Amino acid sequence: MTADPRRKLHVPPEWQAAASDIFERGLRTVLVIGGSAVGKSSFCQYLTEALLARSAEVAFVEADIGQSATR
């Protein structure tokens, strides 16, 4: 996933709460599902960065076979 560092990501409070909950509960696997173009990739980008900032071990696997290769 290539991100434009000049582009600001809008982070809803629900995303912040989810990241805190995932970290505090020590969850090791998170599955993110949803409709097309609803922000799954943006949420995963935020979640990855938020967990890494807390020194969590993170692996991101994108398994959407229908996803465009150019973002």
pTM for the predicted model, two decimal places: 0.78
Tens digit of each residue's pLDDT (9 = 90 or more) over 10-62: 899 999 999 999 999 999 999 999 988 899 989 999 999 999 999 999 999 98
Note the pLDDT of residue 1: 44
**Which comes out higher in pLDDT, residue 4 or 60?**
60
What residues contact 31, with CB distance under 8 A and at least 6 apart? none
